[in-house]
Amino acid sequence: MVTTFEAAIIAILAVGFVIPAWVMALSFRERAKAMRVEEPNKRYFAYAALLQSLHAQLDPQSKTVRNGPLFAATVRELANYPEYRSFSVLFLEEITITGTRKFDQVVRAELKAVEAQLLDIKEPA
């Protein structure tokens, strides 16, 4: 049999711990929903910054890259945006590296690898 004191303790625990825990869980769920709504916008701006960075690293006259390792790493990042794969492939196809330095060869190989990876991705249904 539960005494009045024990019932009061149970009620205090329920009000003090259980209800706030549910309220916090519901608020976290709402916050997660709001973040998912904002996510595509953030991804677009990150992708645009990535393309802008690639464009800035190309030297239009000599058809070489200004910073080979950074350019290769940035090209590799394009694969993380499969929703923009058609734009990425078009962008990569327009890049022609004619330099003979070591990193020019690395960049050419990376361009081919990322383009092949993007072309292998299935179109979203």
Segment 39-73, tens digit of pLDDT = 668 889 999 999 999 888 887 776 667 888 888 89
Q: Is residue 31 part of a domain?
A: yes
Q: Is residue 33 part of a domain?
A: yes
pLDDT confidence of 78, banded at 50, 70, 90? very high
Q: Is residue 96 part of a domain?
A: yes
Q: Is residue 125 part of a domain?
A: no
The count of domains in the chain is 1
pLDDT greater than 70 at residue 125 = no
Residue 65, number of CB atoms within 10 A of its CB: 24
Confidence (pLDDT) at 112:
93
> In which domain, by residue range, is 64 found?
4-120
90-116 exposure pattern, b = at least 16 Cβ within 10 A, e = fewer: ebbeebebebeeebbebbbebbeebbe
Length of the chain: 125
Q: Give me the torsion for CA of 81, 84, 89, 91, rounded to 10°.
A: -100
Q: Is residue 70 part of a domain?
A: yes
Q: Is residue 105 part of a domain?
A: yes
Confidence (pLDDT) at 63:
63
